[in-house]
């Protein structure tokens, strides 16, 4: 973040100092010599450790791992229209389903099925007892003399051991699940991996069939009750229709439709009455008040009154001219006065006709509303009489419809779930069966074990040698007596080192902070600029600086910023200021215009260039409203087809933007700056933009500018906006001479311009 209470200091790379080192240091050469002297002992210890590691590796029981791959797709097959459980298509939801299925592989139900299929409870590796030869022969014929309790305990023990031998891993961002099983027998490891995968698929199919069977049973149990309820409701409806003569009749439909239509017409008539009353009240209030009677909307839309008002304005103008030229009793003046009175009376008579017309409309609307109200009251009484007889009928019909819908939905869903019992909608499958591993997974190869033992032995022996050498009493260095030896004198620096100048830090001037407040500006109507002639920038509809306020704080801050830019511009070259900033483009355009007005108020001849080819808000505001500059600098323009500089009454010339963003627009802006500098007709050039964030071609105007002014709207976070500006500037941060805090109301909402009258 840019600090405004201290100057910006740009440190050079050669000024950075290294962190202080430990004064005692560490003698690597001495350590190397010590280890080299004991190389034979270290090598012998490393060889002994390598041999011990090989012996330990040989004594370990080898383990073999086999892996089977499953494709678990949560998007099941679409075999029926509706499923028992909802299917999700969200990526995070699909990932959670796959992880849940991966945990399901290690569940007790899947592992118990695999144990029963492979008879793993009889394997000694998994807790089974070794049998005699006779028991093994009888087991081949399916004869097992173990009790049920013993068999249950054997399965429990095998389940506990198998859960430690299995490892399920899910590949990231995929539906692939790896089932890894290890065993002391490589063939057994592959067999168990394939058996667990098959058991998972079988258990998944069984769970789907069980869920469908349970749903079918629950739905079928409710069908008889729903059927009986539907039959009773239909009988009650038929009996009521026969008793009240409603068979095949719909008496209330037409009356309800007529009542709704009459109600809508009454509401429309009431709205017309209110509109006529409001129009009549407005005309009467305008007539009673001592205001202009022709200011009502009807009078403004009348071409007759518009013509009379034009004649009235022309007569008043002529009367004012004759008053200054002739005496009060001159016949021409008296005749012109009478003509003005006649025109005023004629306008009032026309307004009176509008009032009479509004009075007639109000009377007619009231009569029409009253007639509709009487008709609606009669229809209401008739509708109430008909509705009382059909209340019970509609209640019975709703009961029948509800019972029929529930019964049909239960019947259809029961048939669907009954068919789902025999369907397998799961899309999980085995994509890679486990094969018999040829290499063991543990322990590693003997060469790796020997290398590890050799390395650890060498490190341990080296540490022992170093510790013995450091801790022995005869290795300590004798401390010299302070009375016998003097401390060495500090070394003097070399002559060339004393004469070499130290690099100085390049300091940047502290940017000036200015505040553009509502009290500093005035707001005018934008339509006044379109009257022709030389345009006035204070009449463009944007808030501009107030006139005749010389001690304004914003003006003083602008003077300091221009002075800083003048000091930075080389020689007598005309300075160039680029106005940049965060937020909406129109807010920056308004602030840039006020910066130019502040310079023009001090007597400077300013050239404003719209350097925002994307938004070109300043060009849209002033283009086509005035005449091009006719002086000797009238040739100054951006591009070959763009309009030339527009001269204003405020001492500011505006050069519109080229409507082609990119490198072409930047080159045209730089060319226009060079033309203005060579012509010498201006004292200052102000660039409005370019807008953030800048591409490589957009930075050319910033590189040409001598100073930068950042516009920060207060409706945004000031610190974040300033950090964004500094980060976007990069090396051009040193050109920042000022910051303007724009406290004006945001210009995001565009006001619609209405008609303007003299």
**Angle of CA points 445, 450, 454, to nearest 5°:** 155
Q: What is the DSSP string of 395-455?
A: HHHHHHHHHHHHHHHHHHHHHHHHHHTT------EEEE-----SS-SBS--HHHHHHHHHH
Contact (Cβ atoms closer than 8 angstroms) between residue 688 and residue 608: yes
User: Exposed/middle/buried for 656, CB within 10 Å: 0-12, 13-18, 19+?
Assistant: buried
User: Which pLDDT tens digit goes with each residue over 209-260?
Assistant: 888 888 888 888 888 888 898 889 989 888 887 776 554 445 444 566 677 7
pTM as predicted:
0.37
Cα–Cα distance, 650 to 535 (Å, whole number): 9
Q: What is the pLDDT of residue 48?
A: 93
Please count the other Cβ atoms lying within 10 Å of the Cβ belonging to residue 172.
Answer: 7
* Residue recorded with tokens 């009493």: 473
Cα 165 versus chain centre, distance: 47
Name the most confidently modeled range: 64-73, 208-217, 329-338: 64-73
215 token code pair: 């749903």
Question: Would you say how long the chain is, in residues?
Answer: 758
pLDDT at 51 exceeding the cut of 90: yes
Cα–Cα distance, 667 to 446 (Å, whole number): 72
User: Which residues are CB-neighbours of 73 under 8 A, at least 6 positions away?
Assistant: 175, 427, 428
As a whole number, mean pLDDT of residues 341-349 equals 78
pLDDT at 693 exceeding the cut of 60: yes
Provide long-range contacts, Cβ within 8 A and 24+ apart, for 372-381. Answer: 372/262, 372/265, 372/266, 372/269, 373/266, 375/262, 376/259, 376/262, 376/263, 376/266, 379/255, 379/258, 379/259, 379/262, 380/259
* Per-residue burial over 623-644, b = 16 or more CB atoms within 10 Å of its CB, e = otherwise: bebbeebeeebeebbbbeebbb
Name the most confidently modeled range: 238-242, 530-534, 633-637: 238-242
209 token code pair: 């069939």
User: Which residues are CB-neighbours of 213 under 8 A, at least 6 positions away?
Assistant: 421
How far does the chain reach from its first CA to its final CA, in angstroms?
53
- For the domain covering 512-742, report its CATH number: 3.40.50.300
Q: What is the pLDDT of residue 479?
A: 41
As a whole number, mean pLDDT of residues 486-501 equals 38
Query: Of 75 and 373, which is predicted with more confidence?
Result: 373
Cα–Cα distance, 54 to 64 (Å, whole number): 19
Please count the other Cβ atoms lying within 10 Å of the Cβ belonging to residue 175.
Answer: 20
Q: What is the pLDDT of residue 102?
A: 84
Q: Of the given ranges (554-563, 644-653, 744-753), which has the lowest mean pLDDT?
A: 744-753
User: Which pLDDT tens digit goes with each residue over 376-419?
Assistant: 787 777 667 666 767 777 888 889 899 899 988 888 888 888 77
User: Exposed/middle/buried for 322, CB within 10 Å: 0-12, 13-18, 19+?
Assistant: middle
pLDDT at 287 exceeding the cut of 90: no
Please count the other Cβ atoms lying within 10 Å of the Cβ belonging to residue 49.
Answer: 21
Q: Of the given ranges (162-176, 501-515, 725-739), which has the lowest mean pLDDT?
A: 501-515
Give the number of C-alpha atoms closer than 13 A to the C-alpha of residue 458, restricted to the C-beta side: 13
Contact (Cβ atoms closer than 8 angstroms) between residue 694 and residue 728: yes
Rounded to the nearest 10 degrees, what angle do helices 39-59 and 28-37 cross at? Answer: 70
Rounded to the nearest 10 degrees, what angle do helices 446-471 and 39-59 cross at? Answer: 140
Q: What is the pLDDT of residue 505?
A: 34
Q: What is the pLDDT of residue 140?
A: 54
User: Which pLDDT tens digit goes with each residue over 261-286?
Assistant: 878 888 888 888 888 788 777 777 76
Q: What is the DSSP string of 350-362?
A: HHHHHHHHHHHHH
* Per-residue burial over 509-526, b = 16 or more CB atoms within 10 Å of its CB, e = otherwise: ebbbebebeeebbeeeeb
Strands 64-71 and 176-183: antiparallel
pLDDT at 456 exceeding the cut of 90: yes
Q: What is the pLDDT of residue 281?
A: 78
Please count the other Cβ atoms lying within 10 Å of the Cβ belonging to residue 711.
Answer: 25
State the virtual CA torsion across 538, 541, 542, 544 in degrees, nearest 10.
Answer: 20
């Amino acid at each position: 973040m840019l600090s405004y209470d201290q100057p910006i200091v740009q440190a050079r790379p050669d000024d950075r100092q290294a962190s202080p080192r430990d004064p005692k240091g560490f003698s690597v050469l001495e350590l190397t010599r010590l280890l080299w002297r004991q190389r034979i002992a270290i090598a012998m210890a490393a060889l002994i450790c390598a041999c011990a590691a090989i012996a330990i590796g040989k004594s370990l029981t080898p383990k073999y791992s086999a892996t089977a791959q499953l494709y678990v797709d949560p998007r099941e097959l679409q075999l029926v229209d509706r499923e028992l459980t909802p299917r999700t298509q969200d990526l995070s939801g699909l990932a959670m389903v796959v992880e849940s299925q991966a945990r399901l592989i290690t569940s007790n139900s899947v592992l118990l099925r695999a144990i029963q299929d492979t008879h793993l409870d009889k394997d000694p590796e998994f807790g089974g007892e070794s049998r005699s030869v006779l028991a093994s022969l009888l087991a081949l014929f399916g004869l097992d003399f173990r009790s049920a309790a013993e068999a249950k305990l054997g399965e429990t023990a095998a389940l506990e051991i198998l859960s430690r031998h299995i490892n399920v891993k899910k590949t990231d961002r995929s539906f692939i699940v790896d089932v890894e099983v290890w065993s002391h027998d490589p063939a057994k490891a592959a067999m168990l991996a394939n058996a667990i995968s098959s058991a998972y698929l079988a258990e998944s199919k069984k769970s789907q069939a069980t869920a469908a069977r349970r749903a079918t049973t629950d739905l079928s149990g409710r069908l008889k009750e729903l059927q009986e309820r539907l039959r009773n409701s239909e009988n009650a409806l038929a009996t009521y229709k026969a008793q009240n003569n409603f068979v095949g009749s719909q008496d209330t439909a037409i009356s309800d439709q007529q009542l709704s239509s009459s109600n809508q017409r009454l509401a429309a008539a009431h709205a017309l009455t209110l509109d006529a009353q409001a129009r009549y009240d407005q005309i009467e209030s305008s007539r009673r008040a001592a205001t202009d009677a022709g200011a009502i909307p009807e009078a403004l839309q009348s071409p007759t009154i518009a013509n009379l008002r034009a004649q009235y304005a022309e007569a008043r103008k002529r009367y004012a001219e004759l008053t200054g030229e002739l005496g009060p009793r001159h016949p021409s003046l008296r005749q012109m006065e009478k003509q003005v009175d006649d025109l005023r009376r004629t306008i009032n008579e026309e307004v009176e006709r509008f009032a009479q017309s509004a009075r007639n409309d109000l009377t007619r609307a009231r009569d029409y509303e009253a007639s509709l109200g009487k008709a609606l009251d009669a229809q209401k009484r008739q509708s109430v009489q008909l509705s009382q007889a059909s209340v019970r009928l509609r209640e019975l019909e709703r009961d029948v419809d509800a019972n029929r819908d529930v019964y049909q939905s239960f019947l259809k869903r029961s048939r669907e779930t009954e068919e789902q019992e025999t369907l397998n909608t799961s899309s999980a499958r085995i994509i890679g069966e486990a094969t018999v591993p040829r290499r063991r997974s543990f322990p590693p190869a003997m060469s790796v074990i020997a290398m590890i033992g050799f390395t650890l032995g060498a490190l341990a022996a080296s540490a022992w040698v170093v510790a013995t050498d450091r801790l022995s009493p005869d290795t300590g260095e004798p401390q010299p007596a302070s009375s016998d030896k003097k401390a060495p004198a500090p070394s003097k620096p070399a002559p060339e080192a004393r004469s070499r100048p130290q690099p100085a830090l390049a300091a940047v001037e502290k940017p000036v902070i200015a505040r553009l407040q509502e009290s500093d500006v005035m707001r005018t109507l934008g339509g006044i600029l379109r009257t022709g002639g030389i345009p006035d920038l204070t009449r463009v509809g944007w808030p501009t600086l107030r006139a005749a306020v010389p001690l304004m704080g914003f003006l003083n801050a602008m003077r300091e910023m221009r002075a800083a830019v003048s000091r930075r511009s080389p020689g007598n070259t005309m300075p160039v200021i680029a106005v940049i900033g965060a937020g909406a483009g129109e807010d920056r355009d308004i602030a840039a215009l006020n910066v130019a007005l502040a310079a023009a108020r001090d007597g400077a001849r300013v050239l404003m260039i719209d350097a925002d080819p994307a938004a070109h808000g300043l060009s849209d505001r002033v283009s086509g409203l005035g005449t091009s500059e006719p002086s000797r600098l009238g040739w100054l323009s951006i591009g070959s087809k763009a309009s030339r500089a527009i001269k204003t009454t405020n001492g500011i010339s505006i050069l519109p933007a080229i409507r082609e963003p990119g490198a072409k627009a930047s080159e045209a802006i730089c060319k226009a700056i060079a033309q203005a500098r060579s012509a010498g007709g201006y004292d200052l050039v102000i660039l409005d933009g370019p807008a953030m964030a800048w591409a490589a071609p957009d930075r050319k105007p910033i590189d040409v500018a001598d100073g930068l002014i950042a516009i920060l709207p207060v409706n945004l976070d000031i610190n974040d906006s300033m950090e964004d500006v500094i980060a976007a500037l990069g090396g051009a941060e040193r050109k920042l001479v000022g910051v303007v805090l724009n406290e004006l109301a945001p210009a995001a909402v565009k006001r619609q311009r209405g008609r303007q009258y003299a």
